[in-house]
Amino acid sequence: MDLRSLKPDAYARLSNGRPQVLSKDRGYGVIYLGYGDLIFALPLRSNLNHPNGFKTILSDGLWNGIDYSKALVVDADDFELVAFKTRKNDEYLKIKRNKDKIEKEFIEYLTEYMTAISDGKALPQKFQFTTLQYFHTELGLP
């Protein structure tokens, strides 16, 4: 699990047909992790105002963190080679210390989403705005 940015051409490909996935011209810092045959990019947010992520530091009254609900399914070559630098080193250190927890929590989030879709259940509120809805093909979901 490393911190990187996505390449500009990755933005274009990922937002093709799903413009809600990314805002253009925004330098997202992401944590990437592999699960099965897929690679996920989990964006760093400067205002994580919901519980579907990992909160890192409080900055100007807002929580920074990693947003599980905005996960992207990406390719290995979508990442810049240069590491993404967080604004505060404390945030980077907290992410590194908690990488196993972050991975476990995201996989639980992903599994719950995939199970609900596969079972045809009504989605819980926490999935109302998830970007996972745009990656059903990659996730093998209907």
This prediction has a pTM of: 0.90
* Crossing angle of the two packed helices 99-118 and 89-97, in degrees rounded to 10: 70
CB atoms within 10 A of CB 76: 8
Taking 60 as the threshold, does the pLDDT of residue 61 lie above it? yes
The percent of residues above 90 in pLDDT, for the chain, comes to: 70
Confidence at 136, pLDDT banded by 50, 70, 90: very high
Three-state DSSP class for 111? helix
Task: Identify the DSSP state of 69.
Answer: G
Per-residue pLDDT, 16? 79
Say whether 130 sits in a helix, a strand or coil. Answer: coil
- 17 has a pLDDT exceeding 80: no
Structural domains of the chain, with CATH: 2-89+96-139 (3.10.129.130)
CA-CA distance, 50 to 40, in Å (whole number)? 20
Residue of 55, 61, 136 lying closest to 102 (CA atoms): 55
Helix H or strand E segment including 92:
helix 89-97
Q: Kindly report, residue by residue over 68-104, the tens digit of the pLDDT.
A: 999 999 999 999 988 898 889 999 999 999 999 999 9
- Quote the mean pLDDT of the chain: 90
